[in-house]
Homo-oligomer: A and B are copies of this chain.
């Protein structure tokens, strides 16, 4: 398995004012390594948002896995918050959420863990019948971060959020449509065409109005206040989790490709 050169991890193509960013690390199933996420952020920042009016985020054609999620090998193990504000995934999520143009996630194949957070942070999702979605921190013993959970709240019904987080089971395409995860479920053969048409339709709209509406919705979603006291208590609970033996076990089991045995300590 040879490494993809950094410059090829995320490719950028532009046509008709629509930029397409393609996750392109088949060898690692598009795992969200620091290298790939930095490339994604660089790709987003390279766009001239006066010219580009819409972004499509996709995986390279033909991959059965859209993205495998966090690159587990890179997670800090104990003592340090594994989902810190400055970590590469968090930066990438903010880059998408703060981009002043709409971002459509075009999903063919399976979406795992942090990659689900990534597609939910896009403004819309178009998927085909091969798509599935899972959020897997309880497979690792990983305490999810509060702003990460806020990306799900208001976007999905609370009982679905809980089922997905507590079971870590993948949700199939049809169910993802029922639960409104996807804006549109279309046949595989039509996925690219449908997504392009949707995107190009938006390029004719007033870009300043689009940008300020997107920013207002972001602020209203992301800046819901909670008491500092409550936050520090939660942070303390999270620290106990990422310093637990179970978290070590979860990562070890993942890397050894065996089932983790959790003891609650």
Residues of A bordering B, CB below 8 Å: 50, 79-81, 84-86, 102, 123-125, 137-147, 149-150, 153-163, 165-169, 179-183, 198, 201-202, 204-217, 219-241, 244, 246-247, 250, 259-260, 262, 264-265
Please give, as numbers and ranges, the residues of chain B lying within 8 Å of A262 by CB-CB distance.
Answer: 204-208
Q: Give the docked Cα–Cα distance between A124 and B164 (Å).
A: 10
Please give, as numbers and ranges, the residues of chain B lying within 8 Å of A142 by CB-CB distance.
Answer: 206, 209
Q: Are A147 and B241 in contact (CB under 8 A)?
A: no
Given A154-B153, A162-B124, does the pair A146, B220 have CB atoms closer than 8 Å?
Answer: yes
Q: Are B85 and A138 in contact (CB under 8 A)?
A: no
Given A154-B154, A166-B102, A205-B138, does the pair A161, B237 have CB atoms closer than 8 Å?
Answer: no
**Chain B residue with minimal CB distance to A236?**
B85
Q: Are B123 and A208 in contact (CB under 8 A)?
A: no
Q: Are A138 and B80 in contact (CB under 8 A)?
A: no
Q: Are B250 and A159 in contact (CB under 8 A)?
A: no
Q: Are B207 and A264 in contact (CB under 8 A)?
A: yes
- In the assembled complex, the CB of A105 is this many whole angstroms from the nearest CB of chain B, namely 10
Q: Give the docked Cα–Cα distance between A179 and B181 (Å).
A: 11
Q: Give the docked Cα–Cα distance between A201 and B241 (Å).
A: 21
The quantity of this chain's copies bound in the complex is 6
- In the assembled complex, the CB of A110 is this many whole angstroms from the nearest CB of chain B, namely 18
The 8 closest A-B pairs by CB, nearest first: A225-B225, A141-B206, A85-B236, A138-B205, A223-B227, A207-B264, A123-B162, A79-B79
Q: In the complex, which of the residues B80, B146, B158, B166 contacts A210, with contact meaning CB atoms closer than 8 Å?
A: B166
**Chain B residue with minimal CB distance to A140?**
B206
Q: In the complex, which of the residues B144, B226, B260 contacts A223, with contact meaning CB atoms closer than 8 Å?
A: B226
A–B pairs, 24, beta carbons within 8 Å: A85-B232, A85-B235, A86-B236, A124-B162, A137-B209, A141-B209, A142-B206, A147-B229, A153-B154, A153-B217, A155-B158, A166-B214, A205-B262, A206-B247, A208-B265, A209-B246, A209-B250, A211-B237, A215-B237, A219-B230, A224-B227, A226-B226, A226-B227, A226-B228
